[in-house]
Every structure is written in C-alpha cells, then in structure tokens.
Amino acid sequence: MYAQMVDTGLAKVEDLDALPPAERAFPARIDADVKIEPQDDMPEAYRRTLVRQIQQHAHSEIVGMLPEGNWVTRAPSLKRKAILMAKIQDEAGHGLYLYSAAETLGVSRDAMTGDLLAGKVKYSSIFNYPTLTWADIGAIGWLVDGAAIMNQIPLCRCSYGPYARAMIRICKEESFHQRQGFDIMMAMCAGTPAQKAMAQDALDRWWWPSVMMFGPSDAQSVHSAQSARWKIKLLSNDELRQRFVDQTVPQAEYLGLRIPDADLAWNPERGHYDFGAIDWDEFYAVIKGHGPCNRERIEVRRKAWDDGAWVREAALAHAAKRAARTDDAAEAA
Amino acid sequence: MSAVAAIEVPSRAATHAGDASLDEALLALALRQADSPLVLAQRLCEWIGKAPILEEDIAQANVGLDLVGQARLWYAYAGEIEVRMGRVARGEDDFAFRRDASAFRNVLLVEQPNGDFAHTIVRQFLFDAAQHLALDALARSRDARVAAIAAKAAKEVDYHVERSADWVVRLGDGTAESHERMQRALDALWPYTGELFDADATDLALAEAGFGVDPRTLAAQWRETVDAVLADATLARPADGYVQRGGRDGRHSEHLGHLLCELQFLQRAYPDARW
Amino acid sequence: MSTDTATPPRAEWPLWEIFIRSQHGLAHKHVGSLHAADAAMAVKNARDVYTRRNEGVSIWVVRAADIHASAPGDKAALFDPANDKVYRHPTFFPMPDEVKHL
C-alpha cells in the first residue's frame, strides 16, 4: 500500500500479560478504542512505527504527483486538464496533511524530506512505474487510487488521532479521484480502436503492480501483527488485495477489458475471485530501487528541493526583516 | 484589423444581422483574453510537483486552475460569436488544441519559459497586474457576456496579483541571492511588458463602442502598482527600451511552438478521438 | 546560487495551526497545519490548502509554538471534577409532561 512493510523495530508481538503493570495502560487504552493524541504517553516503538508509516504514506502522495504530472501538460482536453490539475493538487494537499500528522510526533517535515531524498525511507513501489500513454492516467485513478481508498478508509479509525483525522479529510477529498480515472477509461473504451488498445495496454501494465501494491502476505509478519495490535493497521494485506480484485474484475468487464491473469476465475465456494501467482521478485526489485523510474522520481524531487532552497531561505529572511520593522514601529509608537 | 486577418475564416459568409465588424472585433477580444491565461496555465502546469515548497505547489495549482477556467469561458464565448457570424461552430478544445501558433493571440510575456522561480513569479506579477486592470475595465463592457466573464475572472485575478506581488516583495527583499535572481528576471522580462498596453484598430473600435478597453489607458495605473511593489521589493524598474511585441497579432517567440506541441499532442496525433 | 549539498541544513519555515470558520455560522474549527514564513503567508497558504472546496469564510492562523495545551497528566485533576456536577445539565431536572416550554 502507500506504506509498505513498516518495521516496528520489535522482534515479537507484545503480550499484554507479560508487560510490567506500568506498561499495560497504553495497550489497554488501544483496546478500549481511546484515541492516542500527540501529548499522550506512548511507547517509543509505537511512536517510531507511526512516524515511519505516516512518512511513507506522505512521501507516496508527493512522489505520486510525478507520474500524473507527466501528462498534465499533455491532457487531451481542457476539461481533463483541469480535473487532472485539481487531482494532483489534492495529492500535494494529502501529502501535506500526512506530514503534519507525522510532525505531531516530533519529526520535522524537512527531516522527513531529507530521509526521502537520501533513500532512507520508501514510498509506494507503484510510483516507480512509468506513465506511457494518457490511458495510464485513467488506470492510475481507477486502480491505484481504488486500491489506496480501500486501505485508507479503515485507517480513518486508526488509533492515532492526528493520523485518523488526516485520513478522514483525505478520504473525503479523494472520493472523486477513482471516479475520474474510471471516467477516462470509459471514454477510451468507448472510443476509437486506438484508444481502446491504449486502455487495454494500460491495464496490462498496471494490473500486477496494483495487485502488488498491497505488499506481500503479512500473515506471518511480526510487524504487521504488532501494528494490528496497535490499531494502525486494520486489515491484512491479503484481505485488502482480495477485496481489490473482487471489486475490480466486474469493473474491467464493464469496460470490456481483459485482466492480464490467465488464472483469474470466480471461486463460488470462497465467494471470491482466485487469481494467479504474484511475481514478488519484481516487487522486491522495485522496492530495492530497480523499478523503471526509481532514480528519476527521486532525482526530480531532489532537484525541486535544491532549486527551491533559495526561495525558502529568502522567505524566512524577509519574514525576519518584516518582523523587525514591526517591532521598530511598535517601539517608536 | 490585422489581428483578425490571420484567423482561418470558414468559407460561409457572415449572416449576422448586426454589426459584423464589431463581432469580428469581439471575437478577437475573446481569443486574446482566452489565449493568454491558457498559455500561462500551461507554463504553470510544468511546475506541478516541483515547486519550492509543498504549500506553493498547491497555491500555484489554484492559480493555474483559475486560468484554465477563464480560458474556457472566453473560448465558449468566442464559439458563440462565430456561430452568430454564421461560421462553423468551434468548441473550447478546437480553439485550444487545433490552432497553430500563428492563430494564438496571447501576449509574448506568458509564453516565456519558466526559468527559475524568480522568472515564474515576475512573469506572473507583471501579467496579473495588467490583467487585473483590464478585467476590471472589461467588467463594465456594454457586451453582457464580456462583462460577466470579466467580472468572474477579475475576482480571481484580484487574488493572483495580491499573491504574486507578495512573492515579488518577499524575494526581492529577501536574501542577496534572491534579490539578484529577481532583478535578473525583471530585467529579462521587462521588454515583454510594453505589449500589454499596445492598442490596435480592434482595441480602439471596441473601446469606442463601449465593448472593450483601450489598453493604453491602463498603462499609468499599472506602472503605479508595479512601481509600488518594486519599491517594497527593493528592486529597480528597468529602463524602458525596445519593446517585444507581436503576440496579440499571432507573431510569437519560438517558445510558443514547443509549448503547443506538448499541449496539443493527443488531439493532433488522434484527430478523430474523443477523450 | 549554490546548490551544494554540503551546505548545512537551512532553517525550516515555522509550523502554523489553521482554524477555519465555515459558512454556517459555527465557530472557527481546527482543520490542520501548514508551514509559512510568517502570518501573512500562513493566511494565504491556508486559503489555498484548506478552502479548496468552499470550506470557509474566515481563517485564523496561530503559530504552533504559541499554543499552550493542558498537560495530559493533569487530565484527571482538570476534567474529572466536572463528572459529578450533573445539575449543570438540563436533564437533571425532570419536568412534568404537561408543562411545556421548559
């Protein structure tokens, strides 16, 4: 998902009964669904894990602007251009809300940006794939945002107050993102043969990366279990993935597009779609930096950050001058 | 009326019962008003995901969205005028995506490349300050559609100019480096500002009829605004020298062709597709 | 003009807490935070970040560092004493059904 494989720093899931009495208050509050707020006492591992998770999530929004930004200057109509601009702008906003949530945990946005640029913190692997045609913009909205919403809605109930509140705002705003993606796909599937072929090609290229986006099965993961215990991960990767496949297959059928998975079939016993084996080698290769666009994405962010340094610095210098002038004026009066 | 001569005129003769030459002038006005915001919005799109700070990315997108919206309103009106004149109806996308550079009527200033953030901000401010005055005047047009579109756009541009002026001051009077960058941008873009206040036969005919505004009448006030902001910004107004002009008549810099290549790619490559 | 990455980390724009009053006559409500060089810029940024969907008609900005909060450790002392003052709530006073407008 937008935050993949977040390390809790713990070797095994905390056992409430084994904890010394002084440390039981926190898990008890979590169990009672009491929201944790920035000033509250919290275990260091909880705080660190949240910082990692929220930060990854925020970076994903910011890096996620780039593959779509790749087409905003080439959007095929003024209406589509305006919609895409507004959508990418929302993503900047969502990154901002998430950075703010992480900042309540005592880490600065600049420090988080530094971690992203230094490659110390990941962002969602999906954004390391290229957008090659306009249909990719449709596919991203339909599939990637569709998958993201699925993960984000449960996070509105997560245990950390500022994160939950950020997610509520994000989910509210994001509701149009998936629809605009599907709307692009509908227009292309109802269009010329070339457009339909573009739409199919986009699905062919984005399907598996989208399915992988949920991350490897976490049934055995200590970190996932602990995060679930802390209520900062509410559904397992496999559960979310299954929901995504179940929801998306009929949508693809409606579009008249073929999902590139020969093993995809409805399983009446399970009441779910079965799907083929995921190429986790590819997933790990992309995570490690070998995706088609890893280097470019970070390079663009680094250049933007470096090129903007003089602007940020000048704004601060000017603010200091203004404040000094106001003070002088106040003294004179 | 050289500004209009370059527009491809479909073969059907004008059947409009009213003053055909006035419609021709109104059409030129609508396209000039549409093309500048569109081209500037396209430039702002190039910044998406790359602004100096996240807050600025969001703010700039708002400006860009306003500009695209303004262009759409003017194109819609241009299409109506053409229909009124008995020509083949064109929609907003026909205007934006299916005309070559020589048919574009934007001022040269807005097609200049983004450069660094200083160039982008100075370009924005010089344009906003003029546009703000032009739209205020057009909001009093005797043509109801012109007045309505201008009034809506004026509200948006009021905010744009406030924002861009604020940045000019902050960066002009920021650090030594920012000051130097801003002065350089101002010097580079200044020759494109003269065109903002050129008046041709079209402008004069429209002003005469109470439909448009004579741009020359806006120059003094623009200069006042610009001088005040530059003073706060500790920047020196460049000396007036040779003026780069021609955009409003379809004679553009080399930059516009490249900008349109990108803007128009899909509509040109797939002319029969609907998106 | 140096983009030398060896330069020391520069200061960050301060963090501001943003409060928006919506159209329906409610009080200003905390909506989130953002960075800005000063208050004037914070108001503009808040307009662009937090009112993109007609959310507000008025904006307050407060430097995050200027907010003084109650200490979580004092929660019991601060808030528990209000628990037994039930007479502050109208439902504490049962009224006969036939008496109206109370």
Residue A1 has a pLDDT of 59
B10 or A127, which is more confident = A127
Q: Is the pLDDT of residue A131 over 90?
A: yes
Alpha helices in chain A (DSSP H): 25-31, 44-63, 65-72, 78-103, 109-117, 134-139, 146-155, 161-189, 193-212, 222-229, 237-255, 280-285, 294-307, 309-332
pLDDT at B7: 40
Q: Residue C38 belongs to what domain range? A: 10-92
Task: Please report how many Cα atoms fall inside a 13 Å half-sphere around the Cα of residue A184, on the Cβ side.
Answer: 29
Best mutation target among B55, B158, B178 (most C Cβ atoms within 10 Å) is B55
Output the pLDDT for position B16: 37
pLDDT at B11: 36
Whole-number mean pLDDT of chain A? 95
Q: How far apart are CA B83 and CA B90, in angstroms?
A: 8
| Cα dihedral across residues B18, B24, B27, B29: positive or negative | negative
Whole-number Å distance between alpha carbons of B230 and B243: 20
Q: Which of B75, B170, B262 comes nearest A318 by C-beta?
A: B170
Average pLDDT over residues A158-167: 97
Entry field: residues in chain B: 275
* Residue whose pair of structure tokens reads 């049934």 in the numeric block: A219
Read off the pLDDT of residues C35-82 as tens digits, 9 standing for 90 and up: 999 999 999 999 999 999 888 889 999 999 999 988 877 888 888 888
Q: Which of A164-178, B1-15, B181-195 has the lowest mean pLDDT?
A: B1-15
pLDDT for the residue A105:
97
Q: Find residues 47-76 of chain C whose CB sits inside 8 Å of chain A.
A: 49, 52-53, 69, 71-72
Contacts of A81 (CB under 8 A, 6+ apart): A72, A75, B45, B68
CB contact under 8 A, A314 and B72: no
Residue C44 to residue B59, Cβ atoms within 8 A: yes
Please check whether residue B189 is in contact with residue B110, taking contact to mean a CB–CB distance below 8 angstroms: no
Whole-structure pTM over 0.90, yes or no?
Answer: yes
Q: Residue A109 and residue C69: Cβ atoms within 8 Å?
A: no
Of C50, C99, A24, give the one whose Cα is nearest residue B62: C50
Q: How many CB pairs (< 8 A) connect A and B? A: 143
Nearest C-alpha of chain A: how many angstroms from C59?
17
Mutate to test the interface with B, among C1, C47, C48 (most CBs of B within 10 A): C48
Q: Which residues of C touch A310 (CB under 8 A)?
A: 1
Q: What is the pLDDT of residue C56?
A: 87
CB A68 within 8 A of CB A32: no
In chain A, pLDDT over 70 holds for what percent of residues?
100
> CATH fold of B18-238+250-269, please?
Ferritin (1.20.1260)
CA gap C40, C30 in Å, rounded: 18
Please count the CA atoms within 13 angstroms of the CA of A207 that sit on its side-chain side: 22
The confidence band for C9, taking pLDDT boundaries of 50, 70 and 90, is low
Q: What is the pLDDT of residues A13-34, one digit of tens each?
A: 888 788 888 888 899 999 999 9
- Give the rounded percent of residues in chain B with a pLDDT score beyond 90: 91
CATH code, domain with C36: 3.10.20.520
Torsion sign across C-alpha atoms C22, C23, C24, C26 = positive
Query: Do the chains contact at C72 and A41, CB–CB below 8 Å?
Result: yes
Task: Report how far apart, in Å, the C-alpha atoms of B77 and of each of A80, B71, B145, B150 are.
Answer: 20, 10, 7, 12
- Please tell me the distance from the alpha carbon of residue B41 to that of residue A202, in angstroms, as a whole number: 28
pLDDT, residue B18, reads: 55
Residue B273 has pLDDT above 50, yes or no: yes
Other Cβ atoms closer than 10 A to A250: 10
Supply φ then ψ for residue C29, to 5 degrees. Answer: -125, 140
Residue pLDDT, tens place only, A265-298: 999 999 999 999 999 999 999 999 999 999 999 9
Q: Is residue C102 part of a domain?
A: no
For residue C19, which phi and psi values (nearest 5 degrees)?
-125, 130
Between B136 and C83, where is the model more confident?
B136
Q: Which of B58, B75, B97 sits opposite A89 (nearest CB)?
A: B58
Kind and range of the H or E run holding C15: strand C15-21
Contact residues on chain C for A109, CB-CB shorter than 8 A: 12, 35
Which residues does chain B have within 8 Å of residue C37's beta carbon, measured at their own beta carbons? 170
Q: Which residues contact A54 (CB under 8 A, 6 or more apart)?
A: A3, A98, A101, A102, A105, A163
**Total structural domains within chain C:** 1
CB B145 within 8 A of CB B80: yes
B 253-272: CB under 8 A from C: none
What backbone torsions phi and psi does residue B174 show, to the nearest 5 degrees?
-105, -100
Q: From chain B, pick out residues whose CB is under 8 angstroms from the CB of A184.
A: 275
> What are B137-173's pLDDT values in tens digits?
999 999 999 999 999 999 999 999 999 999 999 999 9
CA distances to A113, A312, B241, B253 from B60, rounded to whole Å, are 21, 15, 31, 24
- Give the sign of the dihedral formed by CA A270, CA A273, CA A276, CA A282: negative
Interchain proximity C41–A315, CB inside 8 Å: yes
Distance of residue B55 Cα from the nearest chain C Cα, in angstroms: 6
Residue B173: phi and psi, rounded to 5, are -105, 45
Which A residues in the span 176-195 are in contact with B, Cβ-Cβ below 8 Å? 184, 187-188, 191-192, 194-195
Of C3, C13, C41, the CB nearest to A306: C3
List all residues 6 or more positions away from C40 whose beta carbon is below 8 Å from its beta carbon: B166
Is the residue at C3 inside a domain? no
Residue C61 forms part of a structural domain: yes
Tell me the two tokens of residue B201.
């036969």
Over 80: is that where the pLDDT of A64 sits? yes
Partners of A62 on chain B (C-beta within 8 Å) are 49, 54
Residue A55 has which token pair? 């930060």
pLDDT beyond 60 at A97? yes
What is B107-149 written as a DSSP string?
Answer: -HHHHS---SHHHHHHHHHHHHHHHHHHHHHHTT-SSHHHHHH
pLDDT tens-digit map of B201-229: 999 999 999 999 999 999 999 999 999 99
Q: What pLDDT does C1 receive?
A: 39
Classify residue C29: in a domain, yes or no: yes
B69 neighbourhood in chain A, CB within 8 Å: 82
Whether C80 is in a domain gets the answer yes
DSSP per-residue codes, chain B: -HHHHTSPPPSSPP--SS-HHHHHHHHHHHHHHHHHHHHHHHHHHTTTT-SSSHHHHHHHHHHHHHHHHHHHHHHHHHHHHHHHTTPPP--HHHHHHS--GGG----HHHHS---SHHHHHHHHHHHHHHHHHHHHHHTT-SSHHHHHHHHHHHHHHHHHHHHHHHHHHHHHTS-HHHHHHHHHHHHHHGGGTGGGG---HHHHHHHHHTSS--GGGGHHHHHHHHHHHHHHTTPPPPPP-PPP--GGGT---HHHHHHHHHHHHHHHHSTT---
The pLDDT value recorded for residue B121 is: 98
Q: Is A160 on the interface with B (CB under 8 A)?
A: no
Contact call for A313 and C13, based on CB within 8 A: no
Q: Give tens-digit pLDDT for B4-62.
A: 344 433 333 333 345 788 999 999 999 999 999 999 999 999 999 999 999 999 999 99
Mean pLDDT, chain B, integer = 93
Nearest residue of A to residue C1 by CA position? A310
Residues from chain B contacting residue C52 (CB–CB below 8 Å):
58, 62
Domain boundaries, chain B: 18-238+250-269
Q: Please tell me the predicted confidence (pLDDT) of residue B79.
A: 98
Higher pLDDT, A246 or B7: A246
Radius of gyration of chain C (CA): 23
Give the A:C interface size as CB pairs under 8 Å: 54
Q: Please give the Cα distance from C41 to B205 (Å, whole number).
A: 43
Chain C: partners with 3+ C-beta pairs within 8 Å: A, B
Distances (CA, A) of A278 to A145, A205, A209, B214: 20, 14, 9, 67
